[in-house]
Amino acid sequence: MRIHFTKKVFTEAEIAFIIDKLERACEKGLLTPRTENNPYLLASFRGIESAGISHKWNVKIYKYNLRKQGHSVVCVDTHVLIKLVQQDYASFTPPPLPVLRIDDAGWGFPLCGVMVGVTDETAVRTAVVPVAYFRHDTRDHFGTKKYLKKYSDLAIEILGTFGASPETHRIEICSGYINQPLKNRLRGRGYDVRVVEIRGLLQAELEARYRVHVMETVGADIYYDPKDMQESDIPRRYRHSLRYGQRHCPEQVKTGWEAIIGTRDPIEAALMAMLKDAHLRGD
């Protein structure tokens, strides 16, 4: 059966076919089924790291929806899903090339821009998408989503400083929203790209550098990393940072966010943005 995964609604026959292929992948030791407390969920699967599919990869298949007249499929990386349905298991063995890892910092922070970082596990190189790309009152305003292209452009420039090409390196990239277009661009250039959880040197150095960037830009040490916090503490830190920016450096506020221009409750919107990104990451 040929299935077009770009569409949003799938037939019952298509879903039965997909689930059958995913269950076969479980038998091969590539995936593991997940049990979730969601009455609308039909099936859920997660990758197995040791088999070549990151444990951050997951796919959720929802029950038939009468209004949509079909099933929904939500997946961290559709490229992997297609390979599994095609039973192209050999593609999950990474090529024997050095790895370059890519991650971001600052996406959920209400001030300043967003930083991209790349490492070969020895050097870490970074660049910042300016805050103008996340405001509503600039040429490259948030609504145009030009920040996605700018982020990708900067990452590709950094890769060039490592002498990277599809023949010399493979890529591991975080699953966050801002990394999605970059992932596709790199695959389009011929790179082997794996969506993984980024830890270690890059995550630590990126967060440290972004903290310094915020401090130097706004004049105060107010950055927080939500990944290191209890969810209940995030609203207070968000509110404090936003109020500081509005009072002392309004030009550094990400006013493109609906929360900040007043159309939604800022705390609710901040949590929703973080939850959306966490969902894409597979947390």
User: For residue 262, what pLDDT band results from cuts at 50, 70 and 90?
Assistant: low
Mean pLDDT of the chain: 90
Are 75 and 182 members of one domain?
no
Average pLDDT score over residue span 110-128: 97
Are 190 and 141 members of one domain?
yes
Looking at residue 12, its pLDDT comes to: 97
Looking at residue 190, its pLDDT comes to: 97
Residue 267 has pLDDT above 60, yes or no: no
User: For residue 273, what pLDDT band results from cuts at 50, 70 and 90?
Assistant: low
Average pLDDT score over residue span 107-123: 96
68, 92, 116 - which closes a domain: 92
47, 73, 92 - which closes a domain: 92
Identify the weakest region by mean pLDDT among 8-22, 37-51, 171-185, 260-274. 260-274
Are 56 and 126 members of one domain?
no
Looking at residue 108, its pLDDT comes to: 87
Looking at residue 242, its pLDDT comes to: 92
Looking at residue 95, its pLDDT comes to: 94
Residue 24 lies in a domain: yes
Residue 5 lies in a domain: no
Q: What is the DSSP string of the chain?
A: ----TTSS-B-HHHHHHHHHHHHHHHHTTSEEE---S-TTEEEEEEE-GGGTS-TT-EEEEEPPBTTTTBB-EEES-HHHHHHHHTT-GGGGS--SS-EEEEEEE-TT-SBS-EEEEEE-SS-EEEEEE-GGGG-SSSTT-GGGTHHHHHHHHHHHHHHHHTT--TTT-EEEE--SGGGHHHHHHHHHTT--EEE----THHHHHHHHHHHHHHHHHHSS-----GGGS-GGGHHHHHHHHHHHHHHH-GGGB-TTSTTTTTSS-HHHHHHHHHHHHHHHHT-
Looking at residue 93, its pLDDT comes to: 93
Average pLDDT score over residue span 207-220: 97
Do the beta carbons of residue 253 and residue 259 sit within 8 Å?
no
Residue 156 lies in a domain: yes
- Show the domain range for 172: 95-283
Are 87 and 147 members of one domain?
no
Average pLDDT score over residue span 132-138: 90
Are 145 and 246 members of one domain?
yes
* CATH at 69: 3.30.310
Do the beta carbons of residue 179 and residue 102 sit within 8 Å?
yes
Residue 215 has pLDDT above 60, yes or no: yes
Looking at residue 264, its pLDDT comes to: 46
Identify the weakest region by mean pLDDT among 5-9, 253-257, 275-279. 275-279
Q: Write the pLDDT tens digit of every residue in 162-207.
A: 999 999 999 999 988 999 999 999 999 999 999 999 999 999 999 9
Are 133 and 264 members of one domain?
yes
User: For residue 281, what pLDDT band results from cuts at 50, 70 and 90?
Assistant: very low
Identify the weakest region by mean pLDDT among 133-142, 152-161, 163-172. 133-142
Are 253 and 141 members of one domain?
yes
92, 110, 140 - which closes a domain: 92
Residue 77 has pLDDT above 70, yes or no: yes
Residue 82 has pLDDT above 60, yes or no: yes
Are 67 and 104 members of one domain?
no
Are 212 and 143 members of one domain?
yes
- If one counts the domains in the chain, the total is 2
Average pLDDT score over residue span 48-71: 94
More confident residue, 141 or 132: 132
User: For residue 276, what pLDDT band results from cuts at 50, 70 and 90?
Assistant: very low
Are 215 and 275 members of one domain?
yes
Are 153 and 259 members of one domain?
yes
Does the pTM exceed 0.75?
yes
* CATH at 147: 3.30.420
